[in-house]
Structure 1
Amino acid sequence: MAKSFDIFAASEKIMRMDDATWTRHANPWSVYSRMTAMPLLTLAVLSRVWIGWWALAAFALVVLCIWWNPRAFTAPSHTNHWAAHGVFGERVFLNRRSVPIPDHHAAWAYGLTWVSASGVLPWLFGLWAINLWAAALGMVLIVGGKIWFVDRMAWLYQDMKDTNPAYSDWQRV
């Protein structure tokens, strides 16, 4: 039986996330600064109005920063905070085929991914047509869905941290 496509695993692979990178990404500076990605991408694309083809350089710089972000910060001295638990929950979710997670957590993760995905079309239209309202609506759905997703992942981690020794080992007090 063929495996179905897993957008979450594909994203992890594209970002080249390994254990060390995940550990560094648990730094709250990494999590909170990452929330600027969509506004910065939007600004980079819209900057074509002001700087023409140089907008491609701005866009490339933002994409590079998105990739670099989880590597940019040191591992946190402690992980007793929402940001780290959200990151740990994402790792638990990515491992769901090996260590099953409760159905309600999976349903929320998929549902919130659809919320974020629903923002892509208005965001792209807004960028193409220079329609700030459409771009803003898209960003609200994309970023809002992602932040809610991270919150649900923090909850998932709280529910799963004692089910697997590796999960509890991520915690630093």
Structure 2
Amino acid sequence: MNGIYRAAERLMGMDADSWARHASPWSVYSRFTILPLLALAVWSRVWIGGWAWLAVVLVLAWTWANPRVFAPPSDLNAWASRAVLGERVLIGRRDEVPAHHRRWAALLSVLSLPGAVAMAWGLWALDSAWVVFGTALTMIPKIWFADRMVWLYSDWITDTGRELGDV
């Protein structure tokens, strides 16, 4: 599963600066808008036809820009900041992450897939109930994943004797 996380990191072009900026709570919380915006962009084909592709491209551009547009946080004590730090540890220091955290990360990632399928079905069929249900079913494990990354990071700094902010 780590290969998927690393591939996503490469696809997003994440470097030390973008990770530092992504640790801003503004970046993390605004990132939760991406899936609903993507659903709205796809649904917009009903109203704007082929221009919906532009809406999809704008959402994808926001997905890429989001971890870059906010300033790095002045401190890393926020839940959202620690979630990002935990994700960095999971991706970059996998050998130092206890197996139970790796298993939960993988499980929560897999648990978001049925929601993505339900959302895609709803968007194809133009069934708003399926879109909302699928979006929620996708986002809940992703939010739980972020919370798990906070726990992972807390355990990691305790177990390794590192300081807050180390990765």
What is the TM-score with the length of structure 1 in the denominator?
Answer: 0.90
Kept after mapping to 1: 8 A contact 2:23/2:76: yes
Look up the match of 2:59.
62
1:124-172 per-residue CA deviation (whole Å, 9 max, x = no partner) reads: 111111011111121112111111000000000000024557x63626x
1:40 aligned residue (30, 37, 41) = 37
RMSD over aligned Cα atoms: 1.6
**Match of 1:134, as an amino acid?**
W
Which residues of 2 match residues 157-168 of structure 1 at below 5 A? 157-164=153-160, 168=163
Distance in 2 separating the partners of 1:72 and 1:5: 26
Distance in 2 separating the partners of 1:149 and 1:161: 18
Structure with the largest fraction of helix: 2
Which residues of structure 2 form unaligned runs of 5+? none
Look up the match of 2:139.
143
1:114 aligned residue (110, 115, 132) = 110
Look up the match of 1:8.
5
Task: Flag the 1:29–1:57 CA change in 2: closer, same or farther, 3 A.
Answer: same
Q: Which aligned runs of 4 or more in structure 1 are off by greater than 2 angstroms?
A: 162-165
**Match of 1:36, as an amino acid?**
T
* Percent of pairs with identical residues: 46
Look up the match of 1:52.
49
Look up the match of 2:165.
170
What is the TM-score with the length of structure 2 in the denominator?
Answer: 0.93
Distance in 1 separating the partners of 2:91 and 2:103: 14
Distance in 2 separating the partners of 1:33 and 1:139: 16
1:7-63 per-residue CA deviation (whole Å, 9 max, x = no partner) reads: 111111100111110000000000000000000000000000001111100110010
Give the number of aligned pairs.
Answer: 166
1:86-139 per-residue CA deviation (whole Å, 9 max, x = no partner) reads: 000000110244x33111111110110011112121111111110111111211
1:105 aligned residue (88, 101, 105) = 101
